[in-house]
Chain A
Amino acid sequence: MRHVHGWLLLTPAAILLVSFTHYPTIATIINSFFSKGNSVRPSRFIGLSNYESMTQDPIFWKVLFNNMWFAVGTIPTSIALAIIMALAVNRAMPGRSFVRMAYFTPTILPMIAVANIWLFFYSPDIGLIDQITGWFGFSGHNWLGDPDTVLPAIIVMTVWKEAGFFMIFYLAALQHIPPELGEAARLEGATRWYYFRRVVFPLLMPTTLFVLINAVLNSFKLVDHLFVLTKGGPDNASNLLLYYIFENAFSYFDTNYAATLTVVLLGLLAVMALAQFFVLDRRIHYR
């Protein structure tokens, strides 16, 4: 009788999870084994053909590498910046709450709005960035129209958007570090850098893991800005995996190939999440 009660309590959550998480996941995997159908040629089972054509699809490799560079460019920078900002506002100083708010503002803005603002920052000649560099005598640069600068430009914007969000977690974690540790370190004559490296940073590790997981997930699932800024262009130079999935599903109506790409994305995310939990978790000191 008691386990019936337990199952009843679980049911609402289980229904939601199964219908919106587990069933779609399984359906996606099944879909990836079928061909694109239409009224003339119905969809049929084709085994791994979709995966084969995926490995031969140059755009797939391009978006995968782009996504890797995007992750490499955004994650360490935004985490480092978040720690620096958190340390900066974690002490008594005039206008502290104002600075904290200023750091946090980008997080409140919706990504689409942010992208629209940055679209004008980056636009050649009339944009804010080119106007500022113009004062120093540099001529305008077509930031989003040049395949070499478009991805870095998007990385900078994403870091600006994300760092403030991560700062909040670090700020909370910093305030939980007992002040005695700092006092003891000062008595022992430790430098501030040494204190940070050997005491503060290790104590921040649980937060870092949490932030790291979030940052990795975001680097794969945040593509809102691409709709506004570049639509993946020029010539796929800023295209990311999830945006490519969207294009396949809704511009080309090839839901089966989109499913194939989604399976790859799911696999990548699962591997990274597991690696973080099992490898990093062991090396983290929890109080």
Chain B
Amino acid sequence: MAEAPAQTAARSVDDIKRDPLVADAVARVADAIVDAKEFAGEITLTVAKDRIRDVAQSFKDDGFTYLVDLAGLDYSKYPNWKGERFAVAYMLYSFKKNARIRLKTFTSDAIPTVTTVWKTANWHERETFDMLGIKFDGHPNLERILMWEGFNGHPLRKDFPVRGIDTGARIYPEVFPEGGGPKAGSTGKDVKDVNVYKGEWKDYGTWPAAALPAAPKPAAAAPKPAAPAPQIAGEVEEGEVEN
């Protein structure tokens, strides 16, 4: 129906900003909108990350009362990508206009929360934090939601292997002791001392990956014979197509 791709003549950024759908909301926060795109009839506005809450509030006041979805993305393996590593996309819907728009903001570590604007953002932001490790400043309860408390790594990051990890010990051995992870009797946060790594969490620095510090050799520990790590699934290379 109303989704015939409107790709005939790509509109310029200013034209999209003047679209009657978003013009009112954009006018109030014009300086925060850094880019605008249109694909398949959907408008995507790129927002400066420090202003996301103002922009969200402006759109909510303009009728976009329903935050449909909040999705995090890891752009580190995107072809020819030069921007910041992570993005967060906000899908908004207006009941009055019966229309959707998308806000998008890029970050390398943290952005302000929008839970103060929409209550529903709470779990979405927790999930994005859990899956991608993007922090949401000002979130009332930013803890893991799908993975267990103490899980090491963020599964939807592109450098996380699809076959999974041995409860944290395999991909970040310098951070997480071997055999870490949940054990019988663990109930999460309130018993944090049962099996959760107690040392300092390591700062992995900023993307790109070349900037990552080399993993230090485990000092003093006798180098073990290279016992092959248990394979959870077959060898699947990152990004390889399996079907």
- A and B form one complex: no
